[in-house]
Amino acid sequence: MSEIPLRDVNIVCESGRMNGISNNGNYTRPHVESMEENAEEGQKKRMTSQVGNPNMTDGTENCGAILGSSEVEYIASEDLKEVEDVEKCLKTLLSDLESKDWVSVCDALNNLRRLSIFHKETVVSMLNDVISLVVKSKKNPRSAVCKTAIMASADIFKAYNDHIIDSLDPLLGQLLLKSSQDKRFVCEAAESELIALTSSISPLLLLPKLQPCIKSRNPRIRAKASMCISRSVPQLGVDEIQAFGIDKLLQIGASQLNDQLPESREAARALLLELQSIYEKSESVSKETVIASWEHFCQSKLSPLSAQSVLRVTNIAHEALILGS
């Protein structure tokens, strides 16, 4: 029998651990997603052929037992069950979240999700520590840990709403980063979390947190932040718009209108049209006067070039509305 290189054995064992299957087979999730999304097909075949050799002994003797599937499962929020022993779970939650065993960390994250949904008042006193550990898990190189942490964040947003605003910055930074990466199933989870974020936290509190993100050097992060702002503004009332500053929102939209990515530009256009609609509703004058007033407002708050770009977008939309009526 030919000798298999040691590095290939390590690849096989590493794959087994990433698949979310522990030696005792007790790590399961009801929603299935492939953990080999970025692997080459040839590598998969090579790894599969190596699993059946029970004589590989390099300190990973249980590798063959660990590898039984190339999939890991995740629990949707609506499928989570209540914690059986709340007191015991709370006592070990922080230590389990800090565990070096990634399977234990995933289990702890799911316990955190259960507590947030069914017993959210029990976590309030340790919420800051919990959020720090969730952020740490989001940075974990294992996609299973990262995605489970993202799912936990979404449940935290839904459970605690505005109460987490003071602890939001590190969560938001990692969320925007993960939603901008190439791993599809992690990115999709992060996109869902962004929706949970914008629907769970007051826009008046969230917008100041998002505002610096549109100046990121990463165009993908700018695009995700722009999309969040575009989703948040329609939830604001006229008084809240005035409290935040419609001129600030106008400048945000104008700054992203010619950004690198189409997602950012589209979000900027949607934001500007929303702002124009809000502005026109607040002016109790004729349509002609409103149009002139909007143009003057844009020209007074923006540079000539930016104002021209904004008015081009809003005027085209206005003309299309007239033609369609």
d(C-alpha 264, C-alpha 249), whole Å:
14
**99 and 143 together in one domain:** yes
Q: Which domain holds residue 31?
A: 1-73
Task: Please give the pLDDT value at position 22.
Answer: 43
Task: Please give the pLDDT value at position 238.
Answer: 85
Task: Please give the pLDDT value at position 185.
Answer: 85
231 CB-near residues (< 8 Å, 6+ apart): 195, 198
Residue 173 lies in a domain: yes
**122 and 161 together in one domain:** yes
The CA R_g of the chain, rounded to the nearest whole Å, is: 25
Residue 79 lies in a domain: yes
Ranges of the chain with pLDDT below 70: 1-73, 283-291, 317-325
d(C-alpha 147, C-alpha 162), whole Å:
23
**197 and 126 together in one domain:** yes
The helix/strand/coil state of 285 is: coil
Q: What is the dihedral of CA 139, 140, 141, 144, to 10 degrees?
A: -120
Task: Please give the pLDDT value at position 64.
Answer: 34
**96 and 194 together in one domain:** yes
**Residue 32, beta-bridge partner list:** 73
**84 and 59 together in one domain:** no
**97 and 193 together in one domain:** yes
Task: Please give the pLDDT value at position 280.
Answer: 83
Q: Which tokens hold the place of 214?
A: 């549109």
Task: Please give the pLDDT value at position 70.
Answer: 35
**195 and 263 together in one domain:** no
**188 and 95 together in one domain:** yes
**112 and 50 together in one domain:** no
**100 and 188 together in one domain:** yes
H helices of the chain, in order, are 6-18, 41-51, 63-66, 86-97, 102-118, 127-138, 143-160, 168-178, 184-200, 203-210, 219-232, 238-244, 246-256, 262-282, 287-301, 304-324
CB contact at 8 A, 164 and 131: yes
**191 and 282 together in one domain:** no
Short-list 152, 74, 140, 69, CA closest to 109: 152
Residue 221 lies in a domain: no
Domain edge (last residue) among 179, 201, 223: 201
Task: Please give the pLDDT value at position 287.
Answer: 61
